[in-house]
Amino acid sequence: MEIEHHHPGGRVAAVGDEDDDATLVEQVRLTVPTTDDTTLPVWTFRMWTIGVVSCALLSFFNQFFAYRSEPIIISQITVQVAALPVGHFMARVLPERKFSAFGREWSMNPGPFNIKEHVLICVFANAGAAFGNGGAYAVGIVNIIKAFYRRNISFFTGLLLIITTQVLGYGWAGLMRKYVIEPAQMWWPSSLVQVSLLRALHEKEQGRGMTRGKFFLIALICSLAWYTVPGYIFPTITAVSWVCWAFPSPLVSPFFAIVNVLVGFVLLVYIIVPACYWGLDLYDAGTFPIYSTDLFTGAGQLYNITAIVNDRFEIDMGAYAQQGKIHLSLFFAISYGLGFAAIAATLSHVALFYGKEIYQRFRESYNGKPDVHTRMMRRYDDIPNWWFYQLLAVTMAVALVLCTVFKEEVQLPWWGLLFACAIAFIFTLPISVITATTNTTPGLNIITEYCMGLIMPGRPIANVCFKVYGYMSMNQSVSFLNDFKLGHYMKVPPRSMFLVQLIGTVVAGTVNTMVAWWLLTTVPHICEKALLPEGSPWTCPGDHVFFDASVIWGLVGPHRIFGPLGYYNALNWCFLGGLVSPALVWLLARALPGHAWWISLVNLPVVLGATANMPPASPLNYTAWCFVGAVFNFFVFRYRKGWWKRYNYVLSAAMDAGVAIMGVVIYFALSGHPLNWWGSRGEHCDLATCPTARGVQVDGCPVL
């Protein structure tokens, strides 16, 4: 593998006229610099030291805390802030002596700590935080096998499972770079937050007004101070906490995407659900709470999932017949239907609205002028495609060995792996396009669980393995592409990005596996709430959700919920509705060319998937989210563009960093000293979780 070489030329100023960069999205033009210093070193001792250490530490702590009753996620933005003083300190104290090795001259201290080193450190940290997920998603398989199903899985098998699911996504990302990184309209809004923060931390500003660095510091302190209120003093108001929930996303999402989310939210929460619940009593809706993710019996009681699992971890048909079919709350059932529709709509929307350009790029006949950032990146050696092909081939080979040699441990047959990879490959491009243009990522977890549950019912481990290879490899791919776009904007050599992402992924996956194995083998009765000592923190809340999903989709199977043996088989028509609906929008835009500019902004995958975060998000969260987004990305963007250009994304980064840092401080300093008063006891609306039908008796609820 050849190391990156910079082309000669020193500092490049690539500022064109307005026509030259007319294809640029305005938010990008206002945020991303059109200059590049090709002399800045990136392969430095500082970068490798801070990057690898931060990746390992974030992997360790995030995986460790994932098992506790109140898990926390330490995101990469904490490293992004902390790396600056550490980098400057190392630049002051490391020796400047130059060495020669392998025909090259290098130094532990090649000069001041620079912005490109900082970008690569952030990429390392992002891998350590599993791109915001905390620990590697595939660790959940190891957890439920050992702690819930009490079956054996070796450390080596678990490590291969976790690493291959992570690296496989990197292979998909490499194949899609040409289509979702180089085009200017694929602008990846969330990457602009990183660009703004990095510029605020590194660039020296002159002129009137507050500098971005000072503004970031003030906003960070305000965020730190405010989060003590919903995070510790007054948790009840968390439902309307704009700082800890609304700020990270609406400041980043484009206004048209916010409008699409608002439309989807209003249609579901204030029109469809009330009409179906109180008007139609659809699916005997009144027998169950209107808003719940729990599973119920036909009488409105909570469904006892563990009672239908026998000693061999198969479905006990006698116990299942005794409890009856699984029922869902109306909101949960409709949410599943919308999830089916959103997945199908993603394919048709991207095919209709972006298919022509994707096809042109595939045929290598695209004649459009590249934007300034793509032209500047051509000064660096690109990543050869065969690197990604080789990576995919090796990863697939290892995964196939895992599914054949260790089949008894993972249950997934070799053809199941290939099918999962096919799903991931098919959906990676359309979902990347949606994410790159709207800052919203539709999930594949529903469709992967559904498919494997139909094909191999009664195999829960096979189901979750299929989900991880199909869904999470795609999700990893989108995250990798987001980092690639950050490197594209910051003019980081592509081969440097490749190696840092790959090494960071392997380091993070290895540390995740080691921490999981350590806790699973040393903490007695970990994840078993009934057997743990009173007050024990090792309750594994996330893994209980993962386990329940494996039982529902793997043991019970979708055919007993959404199939002919289930109560909700009509929801399968949502697949067809989602597939067809974008075509109606596309035809309307062509029929009314005078209105096509706004009709084409109707993004049905976003509309249909708008409420995917409910719960845990509440309706108040959504109204605050949309309000804040409209204020900053419509009114401020339109009428105070200078302020927006200078501070908007910096403010978003400061809010995120403040919540992340104070969340860690509260966890370590105050978690053992909770406050006990009215404001710390939930939402005070217990009836929201009660049925409304007459005569239904549920503990804690009135009988109507």
pLDDT at 17: 46
pLDDT at 638: 92
Question: Quick check: helix, strand or coil at residue 13?
Answer: strand
pLDDT at 53: 97
Burial string for 321-357 (b: 16+ CB within 10 Å, else e) reads: eebebbbbbbbbbbbbbbbbbbbbbbbbbbbbbbeeb
Q: Which amino acid is at 530?
A: A
Which residues have a Cβ under 8 Å from the Cβ of 608 and sit 6 or more positions away? 264, 338, 341, 342, 345, 578, 581
Q: How many CB atoms are located within 10 Å of the residue 553 CB?
A: 26
Q: Can you give the pTM of this predicted structure?
A: 0.89
Whole-Å CA distances, 586 to 476, 573, 607: 30, 21, 15
Which phi and psi (to 5°) does residue 35 adopt?
Answer: -130, 160
Low-confidence spans in the chain with pLDDT less than 50: 1-19, 22-23, 239-248
Q: What torsion do the CA atoms of 220, 224, 230, 233 make, to the nearest 10 degrees?
A: -160
For residue range 213-230, what is the model confidence (pLDDT) as tens digits? 999 999 999 999 988 888
- Distance from C-alpha of 2 to C-alpha of 380, rounded to nearest angstrom: 13
Q: 521 exposed, middle or buried (CB, 10 Å; 0-12, 13-18, 19+)?
A: exposed
Angle value at C-alpha 226, between 192 and 65, nearest 5 degrees = 75
Which residues have a Cβ under 8 Å from the Cβ of 656 and sit 6 or more positions away? 75, 77, 193, 247, 248
- Distance from C-alpha of 494 to C-alpha of 597, rounded to nearest angstrom: 35
Which residues have a Cβ under 8 Å from the Cβ of 75 and sit 6 or more positions away? 129, 132, 656, 660
pLDDT at 238: 60
Angle value at C-alpha 634, between 632 and 638, nearest 5 degrees = 105
Which phi and psi (to 5°) does residue 290 adopt?
Answer: -75, -25
pLDDT at 143: 95
pLDDT at 6: 40
